[in-house]
Amino acid sequence: MKALMERLRSRRLTSVFIVLSTLTLAIVVGSFAAHGVRGSEDKQVSSSDATPLKITNSSVPPNEFVRIAKAAGPAVVNINTTTLPKQGAKRKQNPHGFITPKPQNPGDDEEDDQQGQQDGQGNFQDFFNRFFGGQNPNGGTGQEPDDHVRQALGSGFIVDPKGYIITNYHVIEKADKINVKLSTDADNDDDGTPAVVIGFDKATDIAVIKIETKNPLPIVKIGNSDNTNVGDWVEAIGSPFSLSQTVTAGIISAKNRTIEPGASGQFQHFIQTDAAINPGNSGGPLLNMNGEVIGMNTAIFTQSAGYEGIGFAMPSNTIVEIYNDLISPSHKVTRGSIGIQFREGLSSSVGRVYGFKNGVIISSVTPGGPAEKAGLKNGDVIVSIDGRNIKDGDDLVNDIASRRPGSSVRIGYMREGKAADAAVTIGDRDKIFADSDKAVVEKDHDEQVEPGETKLGIVVHELSAAASAKLKLSGVTIASVRSGSFADLQGLAPGLVIVRINRQPTATKAQYDAIVSKLKSGDDVVFEIVDPRNPAGGTNYIGGTLQ
């Protein structure tokens, strides 16, 4: 039996070899035959026995994608802009060759100062390319320097028959001329109808523009993005590479996706989709199977500057909220704030030391802001809003930002392990942080910035008497560390206690400031650090040369 099986296996392998050999031979014979045909051009070949082809006159029943494209397509527009050259402007590129994405409004609301995470994901940011940004109308992804006339393309969708259109802010940002081409405009028409900007919101990258029209325009229906599910079918319509009315389909891949860490992305929580979207799709609608807009295509993640299956759309519920503010008499979005900054993603050790599991630890209080007026301080841990426990920084920001300036909120917090609360009057986020930025500039001008923050990149607070007695040590505790700073490079982290610098005690904040103020570039700096989680573990010595 074993011998029989070996013979069968041998025959099977031989058969395969023969087949391959036959194919090779056929190719060789065919090659000679071809040469023979080319050498006989004068010979007439008869095709009298060939049957002419006919088109089958049948129709495919339209599916849901066809219905949606026909219904929503007329309300999707092509937006082209012109930006005139700015004197002295130069193009900035990152080391990877991509144009650096325009930053979001930096200082905003209860700001998450998670700069470390943002810097740590620099490669992600390099490959995170917005669809707009000098898109050549003739195709391609090259961008003109700012000292040339720039033309760019994007998409948008009509939401009001009177000519109101929603798009991305980055589509019309800094544009000197904005023109809109309707689906009914011929391809060889001029640039289209001039548009004016009604309002925009940098934090969510949403803008509203308007064109004049004699007749009512077709509009899209707005759906409820909260009712969508991962796995739902969606359809995208837009003008990628100036190819207007391009329709693609996919599914919802994820929800509530934050792609820019820190303050830049605190109001941007996207729907992720694998529907094919490319440069030029920015501002176009993402529709559900009811033909309702549940998102606006805003960004892609790519390593090739083109579609790779990961796109992001701003949810329709956010769009509606922002749109209604932008068409109001003020034409701006007003968000509430209590004037604090915090850091998310802290290690569990910080929570254990400060005695909390869920909440937000304040790293900075805006001088003169609502929180400071209510008595909140750096190091306080906010745990509740109006009696409702908060989960994290996003929860805090969303709640406070939705409240109107002038209203009152009760903030529950922990200080030195003890529960307390305070009534805080909500302020205008833009005004609070504008005033704060102005104060920082003035402070820098007067050279009054804390030396530890400028030289070392850390903010410290003096240990309270209770904490000092409990830990049996004196020093200053690290409240925050700026990413990429000297302290960060040495491995310092929030929660650690500095007891001495260069063998000099830092029992008080005054002592610490006095030591640090004398440090200069080229000096050796050695920190003596105690971890409050394990004071019995002794002192750690961390140091380096100050650059």
- Length of the chain equals 547
Whole-angstrom Cα distance, residue 156 to residue 303? 25
Sign of CA dihedral 3, 9, 12, 13: negative
Whole-angstrom Cα distance, residue 526 to residue 546? 10
Question: CA torsion angle for 268, 269, 273, 278 (degrees, to 10)?
Answer: 0
Cβ partners under 8 Å of residue 22, min gap 6: none
Point out the catalytic residue in the list 155, 242, 282, 384. Answer: 282
**Alpha carbon of 331 to those of 85, 91, 201, 282: distances in Å?**
27, 31, 9, 22
Task: Convert 326-354 to b/e letters by CB count within 10 Å (16 or more is b).
Answer: bbeeeeebebbbbbbbbbbebeebbbebb
Point out the catalytic residue in the list 170, 239, 363, 384. Answer: 170
DSSP designation for 93: B
Task: Convert 511-544 to b/e letters by CB count within 10 Å (16 or more is b).
Answer: bbbebbeebeeeeebebbbbbbeeeeeeeeeeee
Sign of CA dihedral 433, 434, 440, 443: negative
**Helix, strand, or coil here: 92?**
coil
Longest dimension (CA), the chain: 109
Cβ partners under 8 Å of residue 420, min gap 6: 412, 413, 414
- 282 annotated active-site: yes
DSSP designation for 463: P
Point out the catalytic residue in the list 108, 205, 394, 488. Answer: 205
- 205 annotated active-site: yes
Whole-angstrom Cα distance, residue 182 to residue 193? 8
Whether residue 322 contacts residue 314, with contact meaning beta carbons closer than 8 Å, is answered with: no
Tell me which residues are annotated as active site. 170, 205, 282
